[in-house]
Structure 1
Amino acid sequence: MPRFSRRTVGKAALATGLSVLVSTKSRAQERFDVVVVGGGFGGATAAKYIRKIAPKLSVALIEQNEVFYTCPFSNLVLGGVRPLNSIAHRYDNLASKWGITVIHQRAGRIDPGARLIRMPGGREIGFDKAILSPGIDFDLEAIPGYDKAALALMPHAWKAGPQTRDLRAQLEAMQDGGTVIISPPKNPFRCPPGPYERASMIAHYLKTAKPKSKILILDPKSKFSKEGLFKQAWKQLYPGMIEHLAAADDGEVVRVDARKLELESAFGTVHKGDVVNFIPPQTAGVIATNAGLANDDGWCPVDPVTFESRKAKDVHIIGDSAVAGAMPKSGFSANSQGKIAALNVVAALTGRQPVDGSFANTCYSFVAPDYGISVAKVYRSTPDSIVGIEGSGGLSPKDADADFRAAEAHYAEGWYDAITQDMFG
């Protein structure tokens, strides 16, 4: 981004009719038509599609990591089916091909009133429109005993990357005959089928490498996404290996002892594992919560048509952090929302009317490398919420044959290649 003098910035403001915020420092403040914070499924998509729709708009993408590891397919890494680098993606094309200014630095705070992103070290970046796609953060005070110090001992791996590697290393080091405990959080959380796909892929690894081992799922919910399909597959593929305890069966964890690798249930039972994958309760990304953009439940209410925050003008929130009606918190949802948000941000900046959105979500899950299941739905925005379209989508059939399950696994591979190309290509 070129540096301008105050005089040049002032002339540009007069010529364009734009209000330009000037830093109190000696240099002019950086400013863009749109600043996107977060380079995942929602943010990378939104930044790219703004440039596709309106190439003359200047767009900055603030993402602290130079490499993005996808949570989709990270469970295959845990299962030993894929290497970690197979889910790694860089931002080079967004900069070189699409002309997006990619800033690999942590976004400190957003000031919606001043339309500023305040970066650590004093750097300030102005915007006319901001799109926040900061994903999730974790409520480390919700369950006694699970804090920052526990992260290394019980890696959640719910943000893919180094923790995926760490959890995989723990599984490899575990003795045959050990117990892996997986503890999902209550709803809502990122990727509702994810913990159960994770149990499946870890079971695939254990079946082939440590067949005397067991998996225990301690679940604070009464039911979970694609439950019937998962349990049918577990009985077929991993008989006796996976035990699932729902809330009524003493599955809700109320205390953690990370050093002892123990989880205490609501009924007072203490479960000890050899590897414990405790997935903490989740909230909207910290940049959104620190700016007061979240509700009392920790998630960000938005206009269901434009994704503009209900709490701040000119700030749009997409992906896992947003309250998006019936849509699940998934990568495909975020990608779909990023496109509609991009379209409506461009409309606002160019004097056009917003358009109602139509959204899609397909969530594939692997139960084994050649065994896939899925759930799909189409959604639309209304003035009040985002709702599912009756009769759209559906679940994989329960009694499909092996060829059908293998085909779904193949479709999942194709979906992954297509969506990551859509984001970063």
Structure 2
Amino acid sequence: MRALHPVTRRNVVGGLAASATALAFPHVAGAEPVARVAVIGGGFAGATCARALKRIDPKLDVTLIEPNRTFTACPFSNEVIAGLRDLEAQQFGYDRIAGEGVHVVAQTATRVDPPGRTVTLADGTTLSYDRLVLSPGIDLRFDALPGYDEAASAKMPHAWKAGEQTTLLRRQLEAMDDGGVVILAVPANPSRCPPAPYERASLIAHYLKTTKPRSKVLILDAKDAFPQQRLFEGAWKELYAGMIERISLSQGGRATSVDPATNTIVTEFGDHTAQVANVIPPQKAGRIADIAGAADNTGWCPIDPVTFASKLVSDIHVIGDACLGGGIPKSASAANAQGKACAAAVANLISGRAPDMPRLTGVCYNIVAPGHAFSLAGFYAPKDSIFVEVEGGGTSPVDAPREVRAREAEDARRWFTAITVDSFG
């Protein structure tokens, strides 16, 4: 991918959260009876979608179903792990969304009946819908790595869902001895935010360099290549010489099993014992997607990229990390863009209009040290039943001076503020 000129990148970021797609929201004339749209999942995709639906047509009856009263964001959570940020800075409520007329239901959805167009909640309540949007995020596949289950994550945290696991990994780093080894086991794709493990390794190395300088970071990787690899490796050489080692798939880096009792990660080429082990298991769409019949045998949800409609179940749409989106990444920025585009498509379908062709924008920032970041921007459009990347995106230059890296770190913080305001009010 070509390098993206910094001025262009700032323009992309500045408009991202305010208008994550090239779509103009349609004005939908209110019809009687009012159409009911239920959204399951209150992350970046679901919350954005619920808000957008009410902005498009205030007469729509929109319900957001989310069991957690507080959302904890994954972007910037690696800074929490490295002791650079408090977890509270990652947390957002739903009061403002409710104040905009969205019914916010703090319940778990336990059943979906597509023929009957109903959702059953944990307390037994049944809600009816005309259109259902699933935004369940990811579930971790605790059956995919021998030895690693939910109990093992209390000893070898994944921290791939922000919250308690984030603070657990942070406490483990604080408690480890100087000279210890921190191991990150990284899964193959598809995975939530593919560059994030390497950002995490960088920020852990920053913490170790400043507090436990004899320590090391070892990345055991189930992939040979990863996004912005040259930028990461250049930063590691510049900032953390000798502290970070990565073993790729072809070098024997794929974890084949773990032993939580000894903090050991086993690969085909040998065993590695850590003082702190961060095991990121393979993933799949959140459980309600499977319950609804929207997930296929890959564990993810195939969709029509124009409407985000499930290819498996009628009157259901899937957005965010759970969907099979082709070239579009599983990231907060992409989820926010999908939420808006899906809301526009649903409103058009309800009104009997043809959906517009979406063009989504995604941007990903990676912070490798305080004041040192780089980014990746992309534009995506439907083609041959999937999203493909189209002209206009790019990545930070490999040889950019430090002042550019510092400016991108500032841009990253502005982006986080903008996207959280846009998603959660």
Question: In the alignment, residue 120 of structure 1 is paired with which amino acid?
Answer: A
TM-aligned CA deviation for residue 129 of structure 1: 0.6
Is 1:43 the equivalent of 2:46? yes
Alignment counterpart, residue 173 of structure 2, candidates 166, 171, 174: 171
Is 1:69 the equivalent of 2:76? no
Q: Which residue of 1 aligns with 2:339?
A: 338
Q: Which residue of 1 aligns with 2:321?
A: 320
Deviation digits for residues 26-70 of structure 1 (CA, Å, limit 9, x no counterpart) = xxxxxx711000000100000000000111101110111111111
Q: Is the 8 A contact 1:136 1:284 kept in 2?
A: yes
Q: Is the 8 A contact 2:67 2:106 kept in 1?
A: yes
Q: Which residue of 2 aligns with 1:416?
A: 416
**Residues 94-133 of structure 1: matches in 2 within 5 Å?**
94-96=97-99, 98-133=100-135
Q: Is the 8 A contact 2:182 2:276 kept in 1?
A: yes
5+ residue gaps, structure 1, are: 1-14, 19-31
TM-aligned CA deviation for residue 290 of structure 1: 2.3
In 2: Cα distance, 1:407 partner to 1:162 partner:
31
TM-aligned CA deviation for residue 108 of structure 1: 0.9
Secondary structure of the residue aligned to 2:154 is coil
In 2: Cα distance, 1:260 partner to 1:116 partner:
47
In 1: Cα distance, 2:142 partner to 2:122 partner:
23
Q: 1:239 to 1:17 in 2, by over 3 A?
A: closer
Greater relative contact order (Cα < 8 A, sep 6+): 2
Regions of 4+ moved over 6 Å: none
Alignment counterpart, residue 150 of structure 1, candidates 138, 149, 152: 152
TM-aligned CA deviation for residue 222 of structure 1: 0.7
5+ residue gaps, structure 2, are: 1-30
Q: Is the 8 A contact 1:220 1:246 kept in 2?
A: yes
Is 1:272 the equivalent of 2:273? yes
Secondary structure of the residue aligned to 1:409 is helix
**Aligned positions, number:** 395
Q: Is the 8 A contact 1:305 1:383 kept in 2?
A: no
**Residues 21-420 of structure 1: matches in 2 within 5 Å?**
33-96=36-99, 98-267=100-269, 269-382=270-383, 384-390=385-391, 392-420=392-420
Q: Is the 8 A contact 2:77 2:90 kept in 1?
A: yes
Question: In the alignment, residue 273 of structure 1 is paired with which amino acid?
Answer: A
Q: Is the 8 A contact 1:138 1:280 kept in 2?
A: yes
Secondary structure of the residue aligned to 1:42 is helix
Q: Is the 8 A contact 1:356 1:382 kept in 2?
A: no
Q: Is the 8 A contact 2:293 2:313 kept in 1?
A: no
TM score, norm. by length of structure 2: 0.91
| Aligned sequence identity (%) | 49
In 1: Cα distance, 2:46 partner to 2:335 partner:
8
TM score, norm. by length of structure 1: 0.91
Question: In the alignment, residue 275 of structure 1 is paired with which amino acid?
Answer: V
TM-aligned CA deviation for residue 127 of structure 1: 0.6
In 1: Cα distance, 2:383 partner to 2:402 partner:
40
Secondary structure of the residue aligned to 1:108 is strand
Question: In the alignment, residue 418 of structure 2 is paired with which amino acid?
Answer: A
In 2: Cα distance, 1:143 partner to 1:278 partner:
10
In 2: Cα distance, 1:54 partner to 1:364 partner:
33
